[in-house]
Amino acid sequence: MYRSAESFVRLVRIPLVVVALGLLVSGCGVNNIPTYEESAKAKWSDVQNQYQRRADLIPNLVETVKGYATQEREVLTQVTEARAKASQVKVDASTITDPAKFKEFQDAQNALTGALGRLLVTVERYPDLKSNQNFLALQSQLEGTENRIAVARRDYIEAVRQYNTELRTFPGVIWASTVYRSAKPMETFTVAEDLKRPPTVKF
């Protein structure tokens, strides 16, 4: 009887030890790295979606301006070419851990932002265009998209900061060097302050 009770206690103790170790490990932040990584990837997808939304608006915007300002061919060409270059940059989840690919993406988007800013400034010279309902709707959508880009980029930067910090600080650095050896620091935006602000047009 004594031995059977002792055996029972041993059988019960093993699962309890396993559960206790599991709780201890989960409480030590072993899940933080993959959790933060997935969060950053989700934020990156949102950044891509907002940039794509902007790219989709540009052809209609260019066509509308072209109808009123055909002599602004150089600016219209710059916007079209910048959009084409930005669209040719292939991005995926690996882009955020590849400094060269990330810089290529960022540079292409910055060039497009600059070209759009120059296009919207030229609108000042065309009162009829400024009052065109189609242009006003497109301009409003573009400004809204630029704001959404700024928010998505800010959220991505914060998610990457949290993830990268976890890789470099205790206890995350231990898990990164043992369990998650393939985890790499992610890239973040280093956009000039003037390019962070959406282009504005004063009517």
pLDDT digits (tens, 9 = 90+) for 58-94: 999 999 999 999 889 999 999 999 999 999 999 998 9
Is the model's pLDDT at 2 over the cut of 70? Answer: no
Six-digit token string for 173:
């650095």
The pLDDT confidence band at residue 201, using thresholds 50, 70 and 90, is very low
The pLDDT confidence band at residue 29, using thresholds 50, 70 and 90, is confident
pLDDT of residue 4: 60
- Rounded to the nearest 10 degrees, the angle between the axes of helix 133-168 and helix 32-68 is 160
Q: For residues 39-55, give the mean pLDDT.
A: 97
Q: Which tens digit of pLDDT belongs to each residue from 139-189? A: 999 999 999 999 999 999 999 999 999 999 999 999 999 999 999 999 999
Q: Which tens digit of pLDDT belongs to each residue from 122-147? A: 988 999 998 899 999 999 999 999 99
For residue 187, the Cα-to-chain-centroid distance in whole angstroms is 10
Is the model's pLDDT at 23 over the cut of 80? Answer: no
Cα separation of the two ends of the chain: 93
User: Regarding predicted confidence, which is higher, 20 or 115?
Assistant: 115
Is the model's pLDDT at 202 over the cut of 70? Answer: no
d(CA 83, CA 52): 10
Whole-prediction pTM: 0.81
Q: For residues 116-120, give the mean pLDDT.
A: 93
Amino acid of residue 49: N
Give alpha helix (H) positions in 89-132: 99-122, 127-130
pLDDT of residue 182: 95
For residue 147, the Cα-to-chain-centroid distance in whole angstroms is 13
pLDDT of residue 130: 87
